[in-house]
């Protein structure tokens, strides 16, 4: 269930399964208090959702929240990621990685509105193995943010749970986001003339671009690595790797080169070489970290990655990746 930090702040629980709405009011200055209460109410919806399989736990995916104009925003990204992390502590269900689910939707060209989901259920079932999708949106009213969340059965399109609540201290939330996220999100260009390369396969491993994140002076390149057909050990090299000629790097639109400070394969992170086992056909997140970049570049002209698939050397390039702020 939820961890102690959230359990202590939930207070009086107002939700009952099937209740269409909630009105949340509380005092407190921290984001943890505010969001913890909302997440606690949604937990009841998740726990009580009808079991759709006799052999496995219900599987949930969380999509990036949208604003009142159906735009995905930095705030929506932050809320979805935080909600996913909180719900992963519910032991009776399985929560898929938010970045993976959203990436699959982006790759398939599926929007995140309720209408998009209801009209493309067959396609959604093909790209993500989930039983339920959690879709969120919000509207800003002065110093308050009103949040709406729906849980949809993707087999039938039936909305099995709805909640709504409030976040106060809007300015505080935006300040928090400004500290933690400056720019993020990367998608392959829709322009057929674009030279963008955001996906490549080498040595039996598929590498797909997820997003670019700039936090303070660190640039992080997030990807998904999928071993096709069999298990493989993936090793990535940073600037302190054993071979100076094989150092993972990026080059920005000003021609500046940066070498990877650390590389991360799943939970394994190293300033030299990071290795982890990729299970067959199961995507695993990899992250390349680059330090001492005070301002985010508009474009990464080149991301060059060095490593190994088992004992086979890997060297691949992604090109023309846009660092565009979500509006």
- Nearest to 324, CA basis, from 127, 69, 71, 67: 71
- Give residue 242's pLDDT: 61
Phi, psi for residue 301 in degrees, rounded to 5: -70, -35
- DSSP H or E run through 37: helix 31-47
Total tally of structural domains belonging to the chain: 2
- Cα–Cα distance between 232 and 313 in angstroms, integer? 13
Same domain, 297 and 168: no
Kindly report which listed range (115-119, 170-174, 284-288) carries the lowest average pLDDT score.
Answer: 170-174
- Cα–Cα distance between 234 and 279 in angstroms, integer? 10
Same domain, 159 and 84: yes
Same domain, 63 and 144: yes
**pLDDT > 50? residue 281:** yes
**What does 287-320 look like in DSSP terms, one character per residue?**
EEEE----S--SEEEEEEEEEEETTEEEEEEEEE
Which whole number is the average pLDDT over 72-95? Answer: 83
- Cα–Cα distance between 303 and 257 in angstroms, integer? 10
- Cα–Cα distance between 139 and 42 in angstroms, integer? 18
In a domain, 327, yes or no: no
Find tokens 């999509």 and name the residue: 63
Q: Are 116 and 105 in contact (CB under 8 A)?
A: no
- Cα–Cα distance between 266 and 275 in angstroms, integer? 9
Last residue in a domain, options 181, 202, 234: 181
Q: Which residues contact 20 (CB under 8 A, 6 or more apart)?
A: 162
What percent of the chain lies above the pLDDT cut of 90? 17
Q: What CA–CA distances, in Å, run from 273 to 148, 251, 262, 288?
A: 43, 21, 8, 11
Same domain, 114 and 236: no
Looking at per-residue confidence, does 144 or 171 come out higher?
144
- Cα–Cα distance between 132 and 60 in angstroms, integer? 5
In a domain, 21, yes or no: yes
Last residue in a domain, options 181, 215, 231: 181
In a domain, 27, yes or no: yes
In a domain, 115, yes or no: yes
CB neighbours of residue 220 within 10 Å: 18
CB neighbours of residue 252 within 10 Å: 20
**pLDDT > 90? residue 255:** no
Q: Are 123 and 95 in contact (CB under 8 A)?
A: no
Residues found in the chain: 327
- Cα–Cα distance between 64 and 46 in angstroms, integer? 17
What residues are paired with 250 via a beta bridge?
258, 303
Same domain, 199 and 247: yes
- Give residue 180's pLDDT: 39
Same domain, 114 and 253: no
Digit-coded pLDDT (tens) for 19-62:
333 333 333 455 677 777 777 777 877 888 777 776 678 889 99
Which whole number is the average pLDDT over 171-187? Answer: 47
Same domain, 173 and 191: no
Same domain, 203 and 281: yes
Same domain, 28 and 135: yes
Beta strands 299-309 and 232-237, pairing class: antiparallel
What percent of the chain lies above the pLDDT cut of 70? 77
- Give residue 284's pLDDT: 93
Give one word for 14, left, alpha or beta, with left for phi > 0 and alpha for psi -120 to 50: alpha
Q: What is the CATH number of the domain that holds 73?
A: 3.40.50.10610
Same domain, 256 and 310: yes
Same domain, 72 and 164: yes
Last residue in a domain, options 129, 154, 181: 181
Q: What is the CATH number of the domain that holds 199?
A: 2.60.40.1150
> Which residue segment(s) compose the domain that 195 sits in?
184-322
Kindly report which listed range (19-23, 78-82, 134-138, 298-302) carries the lowest average pLDDT score.
Answer: 19-23
**pLDDT > 50? residue 8:** no
- Nearest to 29, CA basis, from 172, 174, 177: 172
- Cα–Cα distance between 120 and 130 in angstroms, integer? 14
In a domain, 58, yes or no: yes
Q: What CA–CA distances, in Å, run from 15 to 22, 91, 159, 178, 280?
A: 7, 20, 16, 32, 41
What is the token pair recorded at 188?
A: 């392959």
- Cα–Cα distance between 83 and 42 in angstroms, integer? 9
Confidence of residue 82 (pLDDT cuts 50, 70, 90): confident
Looking at per-residue confidence, does 201 or 262 come out higher?
262
Same domain, 141 and 258: no
């Amino acid at each position: 269930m939820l961890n102690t930090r959230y359990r202590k702040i939930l207070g009086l629980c107002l939700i009952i399964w099937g209740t269409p709405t909630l009105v949340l009011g509380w005092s407190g200055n921290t984001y943890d208090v505010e969001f913890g209460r909302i997440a606690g109410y949604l937990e009841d919806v998740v726990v009580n959702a009808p079991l759709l399989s006799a052999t496995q736990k219900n599987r949930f995916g969380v999509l990036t929240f949208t604003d009142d104009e159906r735009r995905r925003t930095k705030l929506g990204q932050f809320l979805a990621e935080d909600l996913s992390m909180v719900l992963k502590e519910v032991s009776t269900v399985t929560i898929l990685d938010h970045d993976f689910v959203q990436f699959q939707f982006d790759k398939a060209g599926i929007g995140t509105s309720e209408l998009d989901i209801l009209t493309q259920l067959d396609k959604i079932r093909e790209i993500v193995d989930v039983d339920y999708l959690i879709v969120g949106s919000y509207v800003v009213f002065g110093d308050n943010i009103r949040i709406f969340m729906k849980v949809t059965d993707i087999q039938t399109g039936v909305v099995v749970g709805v909640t709504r609540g409030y976040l106060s201290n809007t300015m505080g939330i935006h300040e928090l986001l400004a500290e933690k996220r400056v720019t993020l999100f990367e998608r392959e260009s829709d322009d057929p003339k674009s030279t963008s390369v955001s996906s490549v396969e080498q040595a039996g491993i598929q590498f797909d671009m997820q997003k670019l994140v700039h936090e303070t002076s660190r640039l992080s390149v997030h990807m998904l690595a999928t071993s096709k057909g069999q298990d493989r050990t993936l090793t990535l090299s940073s600037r302190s790797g054993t071979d100076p000629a094989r150092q993972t790097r990026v080059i920005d639109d000003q021609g500046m080169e940066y070498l990877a400070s650390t590389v991360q394969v799943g939970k394994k992170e190293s300033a030299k070489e990071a290795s982890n086992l990729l299970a067959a056909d199961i995507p695993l997140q990899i992250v390349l970290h680059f330090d001492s970049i005070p301002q985010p570049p508009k474009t990464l002209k080149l991301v060059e990655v060095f490593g190994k698939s088992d004992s086979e050397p890997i060297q691949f390039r992604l090109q023309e990746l846009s660092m565009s702020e979500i509006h």
